[in-house]
Each structure stands twice: as structure tokens, then as C-alpha cells.
Amino acid sequence: MAVVYYARFPGWAEQVKRARHWCEDLLTIHSAFDIPGETVASAVLLLSEAVTNAVRYTASGRGGTFDATLMVEQRKITIEVEDEGRPAGGTLPFIRPLTPMAQHGRGMTLVDYLADTWEPLPKPRTGVGFTLTWADRPRPRTAAASA
């Protein structure tokens, strides 16, 4: 069974931090899903990158809002960040060629590297969605189990 959370944020740069805390708080309360700490950290980082793109490159950051959806299932997290669309001539999220001196443009490279899958949201929506999965971890052996 999936658990779904949704939040709408003002399109301000300061809201990136608020969205990160929202995501981290929700993922850490799911002890039933046994989400590894590194998966939580990756989800929070990638949400931050998607939100930063929404605020920096879309109408969301020009007086609008962005929506974040977080879905937690057994061994799978899906996150979507829906923005208010690109200004005229804008593009969908893409991976930029990296250069050593570039000060921006690494966000989607991180998403591509850490997420199991990612893609722009299906039209008419705009934004990006990604998934993270993890394997079951073996349960620690107890003294009774090893005797």
C-alpha cells in the first residue's frame, strides 16, 4: 500500500529549505517502510534540486507556486515537483554538459546519477518526477537467533 503526501509551496528560493525539511520529516517517520538513511538523504537532495529548478527556471519563481508530491511504497519512493511552466522559449529539464568552472547546471546530473528513473512530468503538467528504490536489508541477528 502506498502512502501519498502533497504540499504546495510559494515559488521563493527560501522555500527550497522548507521543502527539504518537509520531505525529510515525512520519510523519517516511516519506520514501517525501513527506508535506509542514504535513500532518505538522496531523496531530500534530489527534491532540493528539482525545487531549485522550479524556482530558478520557471514561472513558479516569478510569483507563482510549486507542488511537491511524495509517494512511499514498499522499497520505493516517488517524488514529483510540478511547476507553473517555463517562460516562452524555455526547455524541459535536461542534463547539461559539465564544465569544471560552471557554477550551475549540476542538478539534473545528480538526479540522473542517483535516481533509479526520472523524467519530465507528462503533459499538460510541467516539472520533473523521479523514483528511488532500495533492497531489503537483512535483519540483525539476535542473541536468541544465534544460539
pTM: 0.82
> What residues pair up with 83 in beta bridges, in sequence order?
126
Name which residue leads in pLDDT, 60 or 97: 60
The neighbour count for residue 66, using CB atoms within 10 Å, is 27
3-state secondary structure of 75: coil
pLDDT of residue 29: 85
Indicate whether 90 pLDDT > 60: no
Rounded to the nearest angstrom, the gap between the alpha carbon of residue 3 and the centroid of all alpha carbons in its chain is 16
pLDDT of residue 89: 53
Convert the pLDDT of each residue in 16-67 to its tens digit. Answer: 999 999 999 999 987 767 899 999 999 999 999 999 989 988 999 999 999 9
Grid cell of 61 as nine digits: 519563481
